Amino acid sequence: MKQDDGDRKLPFPQFDVVSDFSDHHFMNSGYSSISKLGKSCFKAMSKEWRILRESLPESIFVRVSETRFDLLRAAIIGAAGTPYHDALFFFDIVVPASYPREPPKVHYFSHGYRINPNLYSDGLVCLSLLNTWMGRRNEQWNAKQSTLLQVLLSLQSLVLNEKPYYNEPGRRLYGNEKASEYYNQEVFFLTCKTTLNLIRYPPRNFEALIRHHFRERANTILSACDAYANGRVAVGFYGSKGSGPSKFEVKRQFQVNMERVYPQLFAEFRRLEACVPPAGDRLVVEQKSPLAIANKKPKKGYFKKMIGKIKDILGFTNKNGKKASSKV
C-alpha cells in the first residue's frame, strides 16, 4: 500500500531516517561499514529506500541510519488469525558490501524466547530468501529480483503465520493438528512475554510506536488472553473473521502461564496509560470450561475396560480357558 503523507498522517511514520542506531545488533559486527560499500551497493540501496518509502504495508515500520544506511531496523505487527496477532516483532538488518549479490543479514529481537521454528532464541533467522535455510531455487535470494521489502513480507506472512508448528521441516508429514494447537498456545504465551520486554526495554527509535501501539491494542490483547485461557476460542482466532476449529483442547500449563503473565501485561498497559478496566488485573480461569473437561484424566479402570472389550471381540481366553470378559 502506497503511503501518501499528504492524505493521511500516521502517529508514527512507517519509514524514516534516524541519527542514533547505537543499539543496533550489527553496528560493530564487522559485517559491513559505510566505507566498504561499493557503487553498485549504493545504487541498490537507493532503490531499496524508494521501494520501502512507497510500498510498505501499514503493518510494517522501518528506520534507516542516516550515517550508516547499510543498517536498518524493522517492526512487524503480527497478523490477525495467527498466534502473533496484535504483537510487535523487531528485526535488525545489515546490508553487506557485496549487496545485492548477497542477501542482507537479519537478526531477530528474541529476548531469549523461541516463538517460531524459523526464529531462534539467539536471534538467528532461518529463511530460504536469506540463504540461511535450504529451499528451492526460486525461493532463494535472487540478486536481480529480490528486495528488502520481499524479506519483510516473507517474515510477516511465511514465518509469523497461523500455524507456525508446521514451519519445522517434516511436520507436514508426521505432525498433527492437536500438536499444532498446543504449539500455538505456547507461542502466544511467549509472545506475551516478548510484549512485556518490548514495553520495558523498547528498541531505540521505536519507543513512540510501542507506546502508541499497545495503548491501542491493550484491551484486545487482554481479552484474547482471557478467551484463550478459558477455551472460548482457539489461539489465533480471537477477533478474527475465521471461526476456528470447533473442537480443541487447552493445556493446563497454558492456563497457569496465562494466569501468571496476565497481571504483568495489565500493569504495563496501565503504565502506558492504556484504557483498561481498573478491576481487571487478574485472569480468572473458569473451573468448568470446555478446556477443563477436555483435559480431565480418564476415570480409573477405563483402559482396563477397553482392553477387556477388545479381548471379547477378538475371542481371547483367560488362563482357565474361558472367554475373557470386559467386566471388572
Q: Are 219 and 284 in contact (CB under 8 A)?
A: no
* pLDDT, tens digit, 9 for 90 and up, residues 250-269: 999 999 999 999 999 999 99
How far the first Cα of the chain sits from its last, in Å, is 68
Q: Are 15 and 58 in contact (CB under 8 A)?
A: no
Where are the alpha helices (H) located in 56-141, listed in sequence order?
Answer: none
Neighbours of 217 (CB within 10 A): 19
Q: Are 24 and 91 in contact (CB under 8 A)?
A: no
Residue 7's pLDDT is what? Answer: 38
Which residues of the chain are in CATH 3.10.110.10 domains? 15-294
* pLDDT, tens digit, 9 for 90 and up, residues 41-90: 878 888 999 999 999 999 999 999 998 888 999 999 999 999 999 999 99
Q: Of 126, 192, 225, 275, which residue is the catalytic one? A: 126
172 CB-near residues (< 8 Å, 6+ apart): 166
Say what the pTM is.
0.83
Superfamily for domain range 15-294: Ubiquitin Conjugating Enzyme (3.10.110.10)
Q: Is 41 a catalytic residue?
A: no
Please tell me which residue, 27 or 279, carries the higher pLDDT value: 27
